[in-house]
Chain A
């Protein structure tokens, strides 16, 4: 079968289109006009420079959680715990960023980010360790770690770190830890966070495609038995894969925290963005470049659906439904493939 280069992108694209189609039926069911809803959504995401900037700001951590999950997938590990790793990364990174305000930004910013990455890596490698040494499936252990992380961070910002009243929050980080702003559109500040995320994507690409380590971990993902036979240490690789994946999720947390005002740990911070990483990795086909575009798509859906909720009174939970449908179709991509084949055949007979 001759499947061109574009075929890889065809399935996710068609999945997204089908999701929008189903979404419009749902919108119709609650008595709204899907067309106006989607127009409002589009405007909310791309309608002006402010909207666009907002979309890019929101996209930054999504690129990183998408990379986190996608990296795991490439190595045959389902890291469903990006949510918890992101929270732990943000928490630990924030504590460092609050505590060492005397350091200059060139030191404090990398230091905070690295500590956030290490926290995420540590949190994920617990699941990696359990998988490697006891065989505990990472899906269950990372979910448990998510709940633990969420309870721990909630406790920290409501207790030891708490300031002010209302939503539990930590103090702001030191001025020197805040990410430099690239430009400002009205209330939206676009920091260098997006640059960091894109660099992370490039590093991941090189690591996977060009390095000896990438050869090993893709091998482990494809066939652990053959890899073991080829002298690859499976246990070490699984822990390392989880650690790298977790470090990307932790980076998502701390980069978001340092780059978006108010630069503090506020409420539940992660807000499902770790889980969004699953959708993004799947739409982006675990390819770092694909992940950047998928993150843009999901981020646009987020900003757009907020606008839709306010201006068209359609609950923004619709985004979850759309995301779920996309994931479902990518998981069962043969459904979409069969649709494509069927379309082709129809064209031939017509």
Chain B
């Protein structure tokens, strides 16, 4: 079946839960949806796949009443609907589990579930019936096997439970159609399996599920049918049993893609970064990193695998001088850098690609040429006697955008006006480039989050080539695939502790997944201490 023409039925009829016809949505500068047709049968799990920026979120945001379509029609269970706000969508029994959880951190699970659809006391109208709300929640949670603690505050519960709260929220509102927006991005393989169980249970209970993802193996594992989008248009519509990941990838990207990066064997050199029994506290004063020891040598990539929120951010911040170290030592080529400032650490040659490029990596209101010297701005030739050397800065920026293919080449562009991929290229370029002082070791966190496949390929190739040139890289990523394809060694972290160290070609993803969920590999732990 050729992609793009595959349509299992000619005209969507009564057996369809969702029919979106010729949906068009224009945002300033982008045609996000261009005459998109999207049909979902009642009681199926339907995958909506596409790269970042393909228009998936825009499409479902219109289905959920968050945005109004400029043009096109939406039918729910055969009836045409006009959603002006999520309230209208909720009324038609549509629920959404958002990628970034829509939860209020300082409220309890129960409060979050009832928010906006509160139960009032029978006599005192206008007051919350908190007992009844709690009971409703508990019974829903039992019915679908969604274990939550109704009285806990959101900020105190793990990500997996937060997601269950999101699912209960939709069920509490009587949702028959559930939209899951990239739900597995924050889960371990085992948690993903758990989620899939819940999704199957929901399907058995007659619910219709829209599953947005870009992980093609998950599409193959759980869905019945697939709609593929690229650049605002539908490029394919197939039954899952009739397709394979390669075909889906081609429809997503529009060309042949390499699903794995080429990597030559490379012998690591001298010891660069050495972390010894490091402990770090998080913002709330809890211990986020416990007794972590690791090392990075010249010319190797050490990957840190783990589910988000297991101390990776704090570890990275402590190494790069952005967070106070509780106890332990950090050395760089034998020099103690434990209590040095961020600037001093950078001067020693330890650079950093931050996990949040908009919060940390760029000053969005500075032009590209100013962003290209952030963290090097006090060094000659960019600064002399306290004054900025604008010509040198601009020359450097021009060279940098040329060599690292940052588009557009205009260095006067504001950092915030670059696309995500180009912002990331600029940051990677700045941190890996060895001018004006050598970059010897780089802590790289979430380098490809939210990027399209083209940019991901470029950044992966850059990281590998830098490794081949002898730079040591500590790679932190939530994407297990990325960790596996780039790393020479993998360290698994769980709740701030190292669960063990493994080689990517000697272990399966499932085994690493178990370690990410807290299972220590005894022999690995032994091997690690022997090595030292």
Contact = CB atoms under 8 A, between A and B. Distances in A.
Interface of A: 210-216, 218-219, 222-223, 225-233
Nearest to A206: B387
B383 A226 contact: no
B370 interface: yes
Given A219-B363, A226-B360, A229-B352, 10 more contacts: A210-B388, A211-B387, A213-B386, A219-B374, A225-B359, A226-B363, A229-B342, A231-B346, A233-B341, A233-B343
Contact of A212 (B345, B352, B363, B388): B388
A222 B364 contact: yes
A233 B343 CA distance: 8
Contact of A222 (B346, B361, B366, B387): B366
A215 B388 contact: yes
A229 B366 contact: no
10 contacts: A211-B388, A215-B377, A222-B363, A222-B365, A223-B362, A223-B363, A223-B365, A226-B359, A230-B377, A233-B341
A229 B370 contact: no
B383 A212 contact: yes
B377 A229 contact: no
Interface residues of B, number: 26
A213 B343 CA distance: 15
A212 B386 CA distance: 5
B375 interface: yes
A216 B377 contact: yes
Nearest to A233: B341
Contacts of A227: 363
A212 B387 contact: yes
Nearest to A218: B366
A228 B387 contact: no
B362 to A, nearest CB: 6
Contact of A231 (B354, B375, B386): B375
A162 B409 CA distance: 67
Nearest to B377: A215
Contact of A215 (B346, B359, B361, B370): B370
B378 interface: yes
Contacts of B81: none
A211 B363 contact: no
A214 B370 CA distance: 12
A152 to B, nearest CB: 36
Contacts of B387: 210-212
Which are the 3 A-B pairs with shortest beta-carbon distances?
A231-B343, A230-B374, A230-B375
B322 interface: yes
B386 A211 contact: yes
B76 to A, nearest CB: 36
A223 B320 CA distance: 18
Contact of A226 (B341, B361, B386, B388): B361
Contacts of B341: 231, 233
A135 to B, nearest CB: 12
B354 A229 contact: yes
Contacts of A211: 386-388
Nearest to A220: B363
Interface string B373-416: 01101100001001110000000000000000000000000000
B378 A212 contact: yes
A99 B388 CA distance: 42
